Copies of this chain bind each other. A is one copy, B any other.
């Protein structure tokens, strides 16, 4: 309908990678004829690093999700007219010969350049019962389902104290990476600060938060001293951390660990792994372990330079024979990179400088006044300074001025009052597993 002579770039996915790429392309469209369409199956960007705070009633969905359309609203007013269009839909196929993307409602989008930034979803690695009984934490829907479920467990235990012995108040978090550490810490705070006041009749010493990690330390991507710091801090907050312990299988009312231990629980949160969204087969592309698409050092398909793959779905070489980690900073830098490369291609001056990830550091928060942070050149710090840095950086990376203000105010409120105002039970009890159902066609 809006077909013009201007080259058309289709970006699949509105996460960190796709959103950054689309923004870069919108900038590029100021100086050259270029149209951009951003396709996502959701109408909003999800700030995944804070989903665990939605799950623990600390933030509201809207604080962490930002509608995609208004992000490009101002671009529409630029002198070249519409630069970025947003399309709600699920990609069902890519025809690279015809250069066309197929959508679930039967429509087709023709492209000159394609940027695949479809992200990753929770993977159960085929462990029995995890898909049926585990909660994931990759979307707002998953976070809200977990929030409702946790709050319901306390309501149920308040009315049926005998259920506590059957694991009603036992919360098992599988995966000791940043998400697992942050979620376990936030759950401990939710119980200590908030639910203890909500449920004065409950003996909350019987609450168990169990964090499972298959390796011999938490935060495997961090320095060992940060791992030790996180371990101490979580244990001090009452979290049972079990290292060298894998999950064997999950049932509705218990989980079984690798060493045969059976833990009665109705709540398993699975944050132990992701796999790339299943777009590789649509692309007819080679994949790595975890379903990531094999790309060249310039983040293109080896046999098709018009297709760029970035973010969690890309298996980009790290220069040392491995793959780059599936992290937000990688996705953001890759988004900027491909936007610049596509602009150069369009200008007839292709630039084959390989993508190079600049590691600016990593952080994970454990709870009030405590976090671990690692910067380049071996700079590490923890405790209060790391916690404040964590807060500031996350505010900075949030999309949208309003969300920054809202999250800042919510954090102030939670900090000063030890409250979590978002503890509303809104949904029917869960019946699905951690694999988020794809948002249906509109």
Contact = CB atoms under 8 A, between A and B. Distances in A.
B439 A425 contact: yes
A426 B69 contact: no
Interface stretch (A153-161, A226-234, A256-264, A327-335): A153-161
Interface stretch (A10-18, A81-89, A283-291, A354-362): A81-89
A152 interface: yes
A70 to B, nearest CB: 6
Interface stretch (A60-68, A184-192, A273-281, A305-313): A60-68
Given A70-B419, A73-B197, A159-B87, A42 B425 contact: yes
Contacts of A437: 428
10 A-B pairs closest in CB distance = A69-B198, A156-B442, A88-B155, A152-B442, A155-B442, A43-B425, A62-B422, A44-B424, A60-B62, A65-B424
Contacts of A155: 43, 88, 442
Contact of A69 (B76, B82, B105, B199): B199
Interface in A119-159: 140-141, 144, 151-153, 155-156, 158-159
Contacts of A3: none
A421 interface: yes
A107 B417 CA distance: 34
Contacts of A413: 402
B73 A442 contact: no
A429 interface: yes
